Structure 1
Amino acid sequence: MEVPLLVTDFLDRARKYYGDEEAIVATSGERFTYEEFGNRADRLSTVLQERGIEKGDRVAVLDPNTHYQLESAYGIMQLGAIHTPLNYRLTPEDYEYLLSDSGAKAIIADSEYADKIEPIRDEVPTEIFITNDVDDVDGDWEGFDDLIDGLEPEYDRPEMSEDDVITINYTSGTTGDPKGVMRTHRTESLHAQLVTIHHEIRDDDVYLWTLPMFHVNGWGHIYAITGMGAKHVCTRGVDAAEIFRQIVDEDVSFLCCAPTVLSMLGEYYEEHDVQTDGDNPMRVTAAGAAPPEAVIETVEEEFGWHFRQLYGATETGPLIGTSATRRLIDEDSDDRFALKKRQGIAPLATEVAVVDEDGTEVPWDDETIGEILVRGNQVMEGYWEKPDATEEAFTEKRDGWFHTGDLAVVNEDGMLSIQDREKDIIISGGENISSIELEDTLFDHPAVSDVAVIPAPSDQWGETPKAFVVPSNENPDDPPVSADELTAFTRERLAGYKVVHRVEFVDELPTTATGKIQKYELREQEWDDEESMVGQG
């Protein structure tokens, strides 16, 4: 029997079996059951349909991790319209690009961010403007609750195919303009099922939202947590004290986050007498650049949480690999933290290959570097209205495989370890240098709070490593360590050609909303006077 895979099935299932169970703890303190959650989504569907939103129309959502984001997602998708979540940390100019590129007909924006839409509303195709609090917003906006209060849910759900595009997620823009990643009912449904399996999501889980819901639909958790009938605990931002409070008060069992969040929690824990769990055992998944082993050790040994690393990309939903491999990691071994920070192995029904320039798979020797390619049911349909970029992403070394641009080695058990991005590899005097290796080394220095290493132009070598360092005292004008001392520190631990000779102290690094360092901005700054951003070393 063949039954179409539709993302609407997740909320439908939760309402059927968990209708009276608590679904959402809102940032306001309000609590909604799954029946109440679903009813609010139904009434939003009715509102949007009455205003002319049809199947295939794009509806943007600009919202932190509140119940409005969850209700909006399902209210949009139940119409067959395309849910288009936006990063809430951008500028009005960014939103002009995203709304125009997607052709969004409507936007649902949190009042805290609606003022970023006002300056560009006449420049975009958007016609419908809805917010959670009209009294807090300038301009002509309609109130979300005002629109749905007292309304009978009477929308018509159209016939949908699992191959219909149902969401567009924009990439972080770490290497240029963001691209709209088209994802279908099928890709989202299967990816959510993989997340459910590999994150071991259960119906009694209490999930704390620290990962932005806009980021690849919260790594699929807007579907997986909902479909399993688990509980969403919403947040308006990332605050260490508030995270620990909610974990205890709500008996949180699971959260996903960027590694920077774990570092922040570790620093807060060192300075405060704080409880790290409630009645439920805690597990956490991190993604992005792997956290230092010391952070993982703190999470497991001090917090008492179970840690796993996730690897992925917006184009893949994001799950490509996970270190949730209990049989491949000996919990009593000295190298368990080093293994847990690896990007791990492919999930079910997913093929991952690390290949050389000819598309040939590299040996599992933990030394030979190649690019990570992936294919699976969770991989995107393509880039929105960018056929050339889509073709390039799927054909460069192997036809039909998504090319991640990430460079990795593979150990004897098949566990990935990313060494660099192709664009971040440093080629100095003909030698390849991993910026990640240099960053990991500098992270070991107690005076380094955060660091990014990029290739800088060099007359002698073409390129040379340069480190942008956030000092531990957060004062770049008076850091507790000198540039020469950091150079000496790397010289003691690395091969001579890898030594970092250039260091610039900064108060912060440019990052995306999910904590990814935007090295592209640093490269542009460093190579501004050069003819190209590639050295001739």
Structure 2
Amino acid sequence: MQHTNIYNLGLDRNAANFAALTPLSYLQRAASVYPDRVAQIHHDQQLTWKQTYLRCVRLASALSKAGIAEGDTVSFIAANTNPLFEAHFGVPMCGAVLNAVNTRLDAEAISFILQHAEAKIVFVDREFSEVASRAIKMLGANRPRVIDIDDPFYEGGELIGEMDYEAFIAQGDEGFSYSLPADEWNAITLNYTSGTTGNPKGVVYHHRGAYLNAVSNAVSWNMGEHPVYLWTLPMFHCNGWCFPWTLAATVGTSVSLRHVRADAIYDSIRNNKVNHFCGAPIVLNMLNNADAGLKTGINHEVKVMTAGAAPPAAVIEGMEAMGFKVTHVYGLTETYGPCVVCAWHDEWNDRSLTEKARLKSRQGVKSPMQEGLMVADPETMQPVPRDGQTIGEIFMRGNLVMKGYLKNPRATEEAFAGDWFHSGDLAVWHPDGYVEIKDRSKDIIISGGENISSIEVEDVLYRHPAVSEAAVVARPDEKWGETPCAFINLKAGAQVTEQEIIDFCRDNMAKFKAPKTVVFGELPKTSTGKIQKFVLRDRVKTL
């Protein structure tokens, strides 16, 4: 006798009991429930959630009138100001896909992105008009329409488009009847990887993942309602880790920031009562080392979310000593930004500041909306022991993983081999289930048959009082195969010798892990502020 599942009889999905998940619904709710709350602050300009909603509708309408349809790409080469924030809603409201371009790339890379994405319209902030103009010229006859972003608070650059953003959205209709996506699997944004080896890959996000990671951010960070969030993290980077949508979900305030400088950050925290911001460890390090006078007058709690590279415990310790509460997260462009969080346990509160910083420097556990996380052998896909010692690769699966790479089925298939996303990051798994990165697979140093984590050596280097920035790479060695080579940027006015650095490391870690060579000077960085280890690996060959 065939079994009948009574819960499938007459209980079909319909418009009354099911809706495709999309972060656009957060904007609708924010404008409806809290129309007069401040949504955006840009210098002395303030916009409410109702005003922001109507501007997004006008943007969607204007794009639709310009011929933009479902599945078309709209690119923005813009700073962390209102137009790019609004684009996270207005572009998908007309069915199009937002491509926020990394403003620190060169013209060739930007041109490749615009061509590969098949951008129909590109919005260009005056600050980036020179590089954008060169990139667009390289496209020849396939040039997109260009609309300027003419920020009244920025001086410099040129207007290269046919009109500016405000004039463009003025063409739109506030009563525009936009549609939410029929399928939550539809693309919402396109982000490009940094492309340090070959051309960057186009990472496609869907509405479902954007909706869920927006909430995942709020839950994992205990944001509550109405946070005031400062844009120290580029909105072009994983769509600002999905925080434009998080701010709509929490009915928060988006505080723009064009340039990431210590004085501007501290001023905004003080004046706008900012209580949340994100940033790579390099930003935290800058804030730690800022002049003491900049830090005065901040008496409220500020929560900091950091990722991008494993933050040295000393950097976390410095932020916590200032009264800033640090949450460490981990993810990749392919995982909507953060999908792993160093979730805090109250029983850790009584630990010393140093011990708490060490715990916080671990990457952590899966975030609330992520389904799967493991450290495993990349060949067998078998999880490694949770012993804090055995190194494996980090794998993720679930709703916070990209649709795939645009027009690159081979790379997509490789990334998802075995039904897990392959991160390329090497880590250990601790007995408590927390993951701790030891290196990118290409950054591990094998010296005399022993694996040395460059991150572990860097962690020690950052504890030295003279060190501002540090990076460790493998240097070829006839005897040992490879030895650690440290590149160090000293704090202003600091003086220290190579031998003093080596001795400091030998005193604070296993002696064989200490760098054999130390090079002082500025460190090369990627467009998102990460230290370019591939440049340093080339440099060590000539030492």
Structure 2 length-normalised TM: 0.90
Matched, 1:35 2:35: no
The residue aligned with 2:387 is 365
Find 1:518's aligned residue among 511, 523, 532: 532
5+ residue gaps, structure 1: 530-537
CA–CA separation in structure 2 for the residues paired with 1:493 and 1:36: 56
CA–CA separation in structure 1 for the residues paired with 2:423 and 2:33: 39
Summarize deviations over 1:292-342 as a string: whole Å, max 9, x none.
3233223223x2222111111111112232123234633444622211111
Matched, 1:341 2:361: yes
- Give how far 1:426 is off: 1.2
The residue aligned with 2:502 is 487
CA–CA separation in structure 2 for the residues paired with 1:494 and 1:119: 49
The residue aligned with 1:157 is 178
Q: How many residues align?
A: 517
- Give how far 1:413 is off: 1.1
Find 1:252's aligned residue among 274, 296, 300: 274
The amino acid of 2:491's aligned partner reads S
The amino acid of 2:476's aligned partner reads P
Contact 1:371 1:407 in 2 (8 A): yes
Cα gap change, 1:494/1:103 in structure 2, threshold over 3 Å: closer, same or farther? Answer: same
Find 1:130's aligned residue among 139, 144, 147: 147
Contact 1:93 1:120 in 2 (8 A): yes
Matches within 5 A, 1:286-305: 286-301=306-321, 303-305=322-324
SS of 1:112 mapped into structure 2: helix
- Give how far 1:461 is off: 3.2
Cα gap change, 1:347/1:138 in structure 2, threshold over 3 Å: closer, same or farther? Answer: closer
- Give how far 1:501 is off: 1.5
SS of 1:419 mapped into structure 2: strand
Find 2:102's aligned residue among 82, 87, 96: 87
Contact 2:126 2:159 in 1 (8 A): no
Cα gap change, 1:234/1:331 in structure 2, threshold over 3 Å: closer, same or farther? Answer: farther
The amino acid of 2:343's aligned partner reads A
The residue aligned with 2:8 is none
SS of 1:131 mapped into structure 2: strand
CA–CA separation in structure 2 for the residues paired with 1:158 and 1:318: 27
- Give how far 1:136 is off: 4.6
CA–CA separation in structure 1 for the residues paired with 2:443 and 2:223: 35
SS of 1:484 mapped into structure 2: helix
CA–CA separation in structure 1 for the residues paired with 2:318 and 2:457: 22
Find 2:166's aligned residue among 137, 142, 145: 145
Mean Cα deviation higher: 18-27 or 283-292? 283-292
The residue aligned with 1:181 is 203
Contact 1:58 1:106 in 2 (8 A): yes
- Give how far 1:154 is off: 5.0
- Give how far 1:159 is off: 5.7
Find 2:28's aligned residue among 1, 5, 12: 12
5+ residue gaps, structure 2: 1-16
Contact 1:308 1:341 in 2 (8 A): no
CA–CA separation in structure 1 for the residues paired with 2:120 and 2:542: 38
Matched, 1:314 2:333: yes
The residue aligned with 1:389 is 411
RMSD: 2.2
SS of 2:522 mapped into structure 1: coil
Matches within 5 A, 1:454-473: 454-473=473-492
- Give how far 1:464 is off: 2.4
Cα gap change, 1:327/1:76 in structure 2, threshold over 3 Å: closer, same or farther? Answer: same
- Sequence identity percentage: 37
- Give how far 1:164 is off: 0.6
Summarize deviations over 1:210-234 as a string: whole Å, max 9, x none.
1111111111101011122111111
- Give how far 1:527 is off: 5.1
Matched, 1:377 2:379: no
CA–CA separation in structure 1 for the residues paired with 2:316 and 2:121: 42
The residue aligned with 1:414 is 433
The residue aligned with 2:249 is 227
Contact 1:510 1:518 in 2 (8 A): yes
The residue aligned with 2:219 is 197
SS of 1:296 mapped into structure 2: helix
Contact 2:473 2:536 in 1 (8 A): yes
Contact 1:325 1:344 in 2 (8 A): no
Matched, 1:354 2:375: yes
The residue aligned with 1:534 is none
CA–CA separation in structure 1 for the residues paired with 2:29 and 2:180: 18
SS of 1:392 mapped into structure 2: helix
- Give how far 1:115 is off: 1.6
Mean Cα deviation higher: 442-451 or 230-239? 442-451
Cα gap change, 1:294/1:136 in structure 2, threshold over 3 Å: closer, same or farther? Answer: closer
Contact 1:176 1:520 in 2 (8 A): no
- Give how far 1:61 is off: 0.9
Contact 2:195 2:201 in 1 (8 A): yes
Find 2:516's aligned residue among 485, 501, 504: 501
Structure 1 length-normalised TM: 0.91
